Each structure stands twice: as structure tokens, then as C-alpha cells.
Amino acid sequence: MVDGLTLLIVELSDSRLYGELMSKARNALVATGLLVFAGAGLSFPFLFVKSKNRPIIDSSKPLPPQATFRGPYVNTGSRDIGPDPTNYPKK
């Protein structure tokens, strides 16, 4: 025995209405996915700033050699000789 819902699905699948409903549902799904993706991308900087993580570089210790690398063209005439031992008075 065939119930009414099965007949309705068969009738809808044969008509253009089924294609239009599926097209609208697909468009809504894609639009929702794009909005979620854009929302996550736009909220990332705010969440990153508001996170309570400790600082990446501890300011009480000297910088590691990897952090002091300046690049091949920046300050090409100077040499890095380490921290300045002079204590300057605060103004």
C-alpha cells in the first residue's frame, strides 16, 4: 500500500516545483555556510586579542637569536653586538 506522503514525493519529483525547492534549499545552505565562514574569519582577530594567554615573548629575558633576525636588507651596514650595557636615566 502506498501512503499519501510517498505519492506527494513522487509528484513533486516529477514537477519543476521540486527543482525549485531544492535550488532554494541549496542556495540557503550555501549562503548560511558563507555567513558562518565570514563570521568566523571576522571574529578571529577579536578573539585573539581578548584571549588571556601569556605573552609570546617574555620581556624579562633576552631575545633568542631567531627573534633578533632582521632580514637581508634591513640595517645591512650595522652589526648586532648584543644588549647595550649602559643604564640610561629615565626622564
What is the tens place of the pLDDT at every residue in 3-14? 666 666 666 555
5 phi and psi angles, rounded to 5 deg = -65, -40
- List the grid coordinates of 25: 534549499
Domain residue spans of the chain = 4-51
DSSP characters for the chain?
---HHHHHHHHHHTSHHHHHHHHHHHHHHHHHHHHHHHHHHHHHHHHHHH--PPPSS-TTSPPPHHHH---SSTTTT-----S----PPP-
Within 10 angstroms of residue 58's Cβ, the number of other Cβ atoms is 9
What is the tens place of the pLDDT at every residue in 53-72? 766 666 777 766 766 665 55
